């Protein structure tokens, strides 16, 4: 890919560019769609090259770009321009929009530096770290430093999660979900809301999931956390039923991790919990993230079928954030579609997003699914979402999360 003569006269840069969701495009829309996306991306990369830079496809979902005679600073500037150009690419297949997800890693090539395979490995590692961290683009030096720092954080937080489980320092919080258009969103429960997990630090401070979930996933603690949440929710609902038998039925939304999708014993565990406590399965709706469902498609289909067989509700969470695949709705039948919160936030300042949210709502409604808009942070957004026909809203404009108590289920 690079001749020895070029490497000996000046420094160059190698960009390693991975299309994160190409496999999802292929699986949902077919190989023709994936090929069309690759051609579009290759053409867009070409427009950002200077002579004699060049681009080549290294693997199914990976491009390599060589930037000749460049400093690290200039290479990073060009790489950032390429990342922005690819990330903003608007791609549609048969009328269905697909958001392009790209991660990039960069490694410098200097006179007397390592051979090309080692340079490729450094750039690929930086790309992987960029993908994990959400940074989008990292050079090899930054990637190495980030990987070491991330490993240290995971080690610390993994230990903290394990200790919190042993010491009973996990709490459940509840955030209501408001019905926007009575009579159009299905039968209204007395109280719909999502259960949110919080860890309590030794000093009593609440720790949000963003601080510890990645470490819990890395150290395979998510199955334990999933079961802890489910066990406590089902037991609490049983207590509510015994103490307030005449109260209307609640609807509790519980998030499941990707680990639950792959846990072949999870449905059996769930059935045992419902049976042991006498809690109606219809009182629980399990949320499955769109990205996790796409990454583990067969497992997601199996789990959703099992949940529906038990009588539980199913919600597709963060829909549209990775791949806005309306075909997914037909293949993973759910009761609710939770529209990605970033789409809802952007409605406040980008006039293209109300149309996008309305499109998701219409497609879901045609398939008999109710829509829930997340991250609703103003009364104006509540009004606009109601005008679009969205069934439910969740966010600070409705209510902030707070510690879950059973009387909470009978209010409002």
The reported pLDDT for the residue numbered 35 is 87
Sheet containing 12-19: order of strands? 54-59, 62-67, 12-19, 102-109, 137-139
The reported pLDDT for the residue numbered 6 is 38
Top pLDDT among 203 and 268 is at: 268
Instruction: Specify the pairing of strand 392-393 against strand 137-139.
Output: unpaired
| C-beta separation of 147 from 34 below 8 A | no
Q: Domain 168-410: give its CATH superfamily.
A: EAL domain (3.20.20.450)
Q: What is the pLDDT of residues 246-265, one digit of tens each?
A: 888 899 999 999 999 999 99
Confidence band, pLDDT 50/70/90 cuts, at residue 67: very high
- Given CATH 3.30.70.270, say whether it is the number of domain 4-147: yes
Domain ranges across the chain: 4-147, 168-410
Nearest to 156 by CA among 229, 203, 216, 198: 216
Nearest to 340 by CA among 19, 99, 95: 99
d(CA 377, CA 396): 5
d(CA 148, CA 142): 10
Q: What is the mean pLDDT of residues 367-378?
A: 93
Nearest to 115 by CA among 3, 249, 273, 276: 3
The encoded tokens of residue 235 equal 């037991």
Q: What is the pLDDT of residues 328-369, one digit of tens each?
A: 778 888 999 999 888 898 888 778 789 889 988 998 999 999
The reported pLDDT for the residue numbered 269 is 97
- The CA-to-CA distance between both ends of the chain, in Å, stands at 66
Confidence band, pLDDT 50/70/90 cuts, at residue 81: confident
The reported pLDDT for the residue numbered 172 is 95
Stretch among 16-25, 138-147, 230-239, 309-318 having the lowest mean pLDDT: 138-147
């Amino acid at each position: 890919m690079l001749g020895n003569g070029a490497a000996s006269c000046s420094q160059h840069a190698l960009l390693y560019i991975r299309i994160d969701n190409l496999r999802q495009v292929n699986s949902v829309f077919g190989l023709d769609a994936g090929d069309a996306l690759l051609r579009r991306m290759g053409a867009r990369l070409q427009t950002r090259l200077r002579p004699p830079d060049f681009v080549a496809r290294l693997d199914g979902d990976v491009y390599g770009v060589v930037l000749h005679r460049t400093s690290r600073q200039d290479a990073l500037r060009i790489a950032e321009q390429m990342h922005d150009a690819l990330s903003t690419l608007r791609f549609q297949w048969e009328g269905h929009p697909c958001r392009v997800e790209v991660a990039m890693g960069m490694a410098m090539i200097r006179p007397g530096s390592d051979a090309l395979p080692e340079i490729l490995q450094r750039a690929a590692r930086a790309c992987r770290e960029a993908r994990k961290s959400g940074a989008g683009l990292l050079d090899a030096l930054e990637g190495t430093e980030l990987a070491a720092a991330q490993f240290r954080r995971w080690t610390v937080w993994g230990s903290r999660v394990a200790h919190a489980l042993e010491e009973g320092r996990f709490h459940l919080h509840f955030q209501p979900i408001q019905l926007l258009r009575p009579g159009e969103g299905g039968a209204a429960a007395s109280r719909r809301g999502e259960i949110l997990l919080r860890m309590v630090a030794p000093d009593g401070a609440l720790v949000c999931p963003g601080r510890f979930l990645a470490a819990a996933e890395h150290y395979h603690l998510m199955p334990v956390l999933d079961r802890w949440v489910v066990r406590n929710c089902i037991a609490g609902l049983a207590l509510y039923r015994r103490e307030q038998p005449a109260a209307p039925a609640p609807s509790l939304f519980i998030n499941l991790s990707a680990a639950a999708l792959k846990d072949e014993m999870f449905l059996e565990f769930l059935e045992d919990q419902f049976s042991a406590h006498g809690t109606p399965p219809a009182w629980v709706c399990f949320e499955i993230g769109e990205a996790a469902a796409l990454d583990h498609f067969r497992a997601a289909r199996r789990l959703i079928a099992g949940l529906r067989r038990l009588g539980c509700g199913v919600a597709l969470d963060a829909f549209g954030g990775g791949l806005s695949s309306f075909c997914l709705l037909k293949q993973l039948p759910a009761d609710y579609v939770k529209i990605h919160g970033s789409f809802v936030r952007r409605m406040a300042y980008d006039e293209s997003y109300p149309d996008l949210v309305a499109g998701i709502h219409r497609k879901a409604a045609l398939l008999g699914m109710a829509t829930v808009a997340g991250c609703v942070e103003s009364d104006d957004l509540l009004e606009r979402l109601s005008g679009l026909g969205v069934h439910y809203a969740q966010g600070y404009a409705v209510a902030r999360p707070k510690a879950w108590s059973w009387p909470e289920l009978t209010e409002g």
